[in-house]
Structure 1
Amino acid sequence: MDINSYIASGILESYVLGSATPEEIAEVEQMAVKYPEVKAELRAIEDALESYAFDHAEIPPTHLKNQIWNTLVADTVHIDAATQGTKVIDFNSGEEVEPVFTKPSGFFSSYIRIAASLALLGSVLANVYVLTRWNESKQNLTAAINENINLQKEVKNNEGMMKPSEVNLLMSPAVKTFKLMGQKVSPNSTVMLALDMRTNTVYLVRPNLPAPPAGMQYQLWAIVGGKALDAGVFDIINNTQQLKKVPIPNAFAVTLEKKGGSAVPTSDIFVQGL
């Protein structure tokens, strides 16, 4: 078996992210025992996932603290109310007696209660927020990695494998990805776009389009308010290409124009999507 091809297939990422089938899980675990390279790659993927979650961690918002504090107070009131009317039987006489609840008093006991409450609040706050952010980061990373896996499977040789810089671009929380699907004129074509929401810059990731005729070039259009805005021309190469800055579009489309581009679309749409 070609171990490098197995590692590049995407099955290890699926295993770490919990999306592998039972059969795939059993296979990966067997391969990890048999091949040190597979075991090392699994550890690297796990470390990358953990680093991604911590790198994108944020300080918990103030309103979350208030929500948890109110919940703790409500639970305390509920517990105090539940103790009212509690029956206590004297062990020696067998008769019912008035329950006596011993409560701490004084500054020290108040300090202990406050400190314990704050410690509990801080722990709950941190755990709830970290868990929420972890799930969000994991979902974002899962989507990016799965998209990368799908792109990798479309590539037929090592020369076409995505570079780390391209993977990082797709994984960035500030980037929104778009997959344009083939239209009637070219139904099997696809184009992956990455739009940096901070700068409105469009990046073209590995276009899958027929080679253009001599003197012709593909052009990307951002459809905004029913108008087609020039987003740049591009070539069919195995590298990510930075195109133009555009407003947030309603859709993207690609046409085939004269080399250098056109002011308006003049041909049929090859791929389109949002």
Structure 2
Amino acid sequence: MDIKEYIASGILELYVAGSLSEKENEEIYAKIQEYPVLLTEVKSIEKAIVKLTAAAKKDSEYSFSEIKNQLKVDETKVISISTQKNNWLQYAGWAASLVIGSMLIWSVVQNNKLKEQIATDKKQLEEQIDKASNSLADAEKLITIFRDKDIISVPLTGQKVSPNSYAKVYWDKKTNSIYLDAKGLPDPPKGKVYQVWSLKLNPLTPTSLGTIDTFTADTNKIFTIDNANQSEAFGITLEPAGGSESPTLEQLYTLGAVDS
């Protein structure tokens, strides 16, 4: 028998760990008696296990009680083959139990992590569904409003500073509000915001309807704005963050008059 190959196979570690059948244990025990070098190797493995168990022994009662409480399983029964032959297997069996227990704890931890991940994914999916449902409801509401025959539609065309810009105001006089479709405006530069104005034309009197602070973040670019004014026109200018008291005409992006 090739002793080095036999040792390298790992069979002695399995023997020490008590992972073999009784017949295999007896066969290996016979070889150990026949080849002293195998006995030396077994003692070396045993010594390593003793060091392991000595280091972990102080936590053993806690570890196994936690395993039993969490997993609710019976203690593993260890069958002793021969006390005289395998006295050192007490250490090996304990070490094997420790390894198995650690694996079980690891499995519980991983299972809990998986449950947490599933719960998180479920919550995110529910939020996405709610958001989609709300978006759909808002879209249906807007369609109803835009199709209302009493809604006043006011197109705003691009001006000198931005000829390609455009927007559209849907004015609901019954609710004193406008719905501004600003999809045709470019994103404002950093530190700037769009400001919406209600205009009286004779004499020219601008009234601020507020700034569009969420323009960049808003995907649909449709904004609801209160307007109780007797507007004759609407305009949109680019102003410093926070808005201006009067419109900066050099930064007038769109303008449109209400049909009389």
What is the TM-score with the length of structure 1 in the denominator?
0.39
Higher RCO (Cα < 8 Å, 6 or more apart): 2
